[in-house]
Structure formats: structure tokens, C-alpha cells
Amino acid sequence: MPDPVPRPRRGPLERLAAWLVTGPAGHLYSVVGDLAVYFARWMLQRAKRRLGRG
């Protein structure tokens, strides 16, 4: 049974961009972002405790 709609052909730059976002580089970027947010919240919590607001 043939496909009802032909699949679009992706160019090399589009495939590279998709791989960067969804591949190992994208996962690394996600982890680094999560850790940066965690560290910033942790430092803010420490600062509040030192100032007696927490």
C-alpha cells in the first residue's frame, strides 16, 4: 500500500539542525540549563538565609 502523502525531503542543514536540538548536543544543553537553574535557586536560598529572610 503506497503512502497517501509523499514524505518531504529534508536537506542536510535541516537534518543537522534537528540533530543538534534532539541529539546528544540538545540533551547536554538541556542538562546544563537545568543545572544552572538549580544552582541559581540554591544560591538565592542561601542568600536569603544569610540575610535572615528564609
Q: pLDDT tens, 2-20?
A: 778 888 899 999 999 999 9
Contact 54, 48 (CB under 8 A): yes
**Residue 47 in grid coordinates:** 542568600
At residue 28, does pLDDT exceed 80? Answer: yes
Per-residue model confidence (pLDDT) at position 53: 72
| Vertex 13 angle, CA 11 and 19, to 5° | 105
Residue 54: band (very low, low, confident or very high) from pLDDT cuts 50, 70, 90: low
Q: What does pTM read for this prediction?
A: 0.63
Instruction: Enumerate the H helices of 1-54 as residue ranges.
Output: 12-22, 24-50
Residue 37 is assigned to a structural domain of this protein: yes
Residue 13 is assigned to a structural domain of this protein: no
Residue 8 is assigned to a structural domain of this protein: no
Full residue range of the structural domain in which residue 41 is found: 26-54
Taking residue 21's Cβ as centre, other Cβ atoms within 10 Å add up to 12
Torsional sign, CA 17, 15, 18, 20: negative
Express each pLDDT in 31-43 by its tens digit: 999 999 999 999 9
